[in-house]
Amino acid sequence: MIDSRVKFRHLHTFLEVARQKSVVKAANVLHVSQPAVTKTIRELEEALGVAVFERDGRGIRITRYGEVFLRHAGAALSALKQGIDSVSQELSDAAPPVRVGALPTVSTRIMPRAMTLFLQEATGSRIKIVTGENAVLLEQLRVGDLDLVVGRLAAPEKMTGFSFEHLYSEQVVFAVRAGHPLLDGSRSVFEGLPAYTVLMPTRGSVIRPVVEQLLIANGVGNIPTQVETVSHAFGRAFVRASDAVWIISQGVVSNDLAEGLLVALPVDTSETKGPVGLTLKADTPPSAPQAILMQTIRQAAEEIMPRR
């Protein structure tokens, strides 16, 4: 049986005295008087029926029984604190979370503005934003790890059970550093492309098939040196430091192009244009915070990528 006389303050005071090996020091840490600490320890010893501390010269030391109790008191106080913290966390997380999957093109161009607008609504919801390939994000949406995905419209067979809302259309670009040899116009881009390292969309990405079709249609059947990536950080750094050509969705590099850090090669990529929008599970209505976030994404897309 747990003695009902043992309270939280007894455990807290006992642990601090054991830690400080001094009633005076413990009282200072606990911001109470020395007599109050002494009284609390005596109450604990009465409840336990044994002494937990004994005099040691001018100081005190913990007894054998105190050592036994110390192991359990520390664990009990830690568990209690975790329980209190968990309840506090649950209270602060009362609003349902919003988990969003966004393609790199959306993460760099649309989501920053959308999040600014969403946070102004003060819903109290926790937000999680995951960036990755479209196929991976859709699978996470399907199993319930995400609430919505903002990205390209997937192939029909991949959209079973999902609904899609079109926001805008986007095409790929061939991005290079300023001063790249292919910018001099001495030969066509597609003719010279195989001589350079080409950063390609990964095979799991939505735009990979349309990029391959574009290359084949323009006589490029093979690229000897290619790197597959969806990483904006890597692609940006690698292309700026080399003669590599980065074939990527325009939204990923839009800021770099606008600032002149990268340049788009003169290639007609209109055939690669595809719809970008919101994908949700068709049978799951959005929560209020999710609906608010969707509206802020719509607003951000309209501001940054007005439909044409």
| Nearest residue to 296 (alpha-carbon basis) of 155, 158, 167, 179 | 167
Could you list the pLDDT tens digit for every one of the 308 residues in the chain?
A: 455 678 888 888 998 888 888 899 888 888 899 999 999 999 989 988 899 999 887 788 899 998 888 878 877 777 777 677 656 555 555 566 788 998 877 887 888 999 999 988 887 788 889 887 777 888 888 878 888 999 888 878 778 888 999 988 888 899 999 989 988 877 888 888 888 999 988 887 778 888 888 889 888 888 889 898 877 888 889 999 999 999 988 878 888 888 888 999 998 888 888 888 899 888 878 888 888 899 999 998 888 875 54
255 Cβ contact list (under 8 Å, min separation 6): 108, 109
pLDDT, residue 40, reads 92
pLDDT, residue 107, reads 81
Whole-angstrom distance, CA of residue 86 vs CA of residue 120: 27
Of the CA atoms within 13 Å of residue 72, those in its CB half-sphere come to 5
Q: What's the DSSP call for residue 182?
A: G
Structure tokens at 169: 């259309």
221 Cβ contact list (under 8 Å, min separation 6): 215
The angle, 0 to 180 degrees and rounded to 10, between the axes of the packed helices 8-20 and 23-30 is 120
pLDDT, residue 308, reads 43
DSSP string, 204-225: TSTTHHHHHHHHHHTT----SS
Structure tokens at 305: 């990528």
| Nearest residue to 174 (alpha-carbon basis) of 305, 268, 274 | 268
pLDDT, residue 94, reads 58
Q: What's the DSSP call for residue 54?
A: E
188 Cβ contact list (under 8 Å, min separation 6): none
Whole-angstrom distance, CA of residue 8 vs CA of residue 61: 22
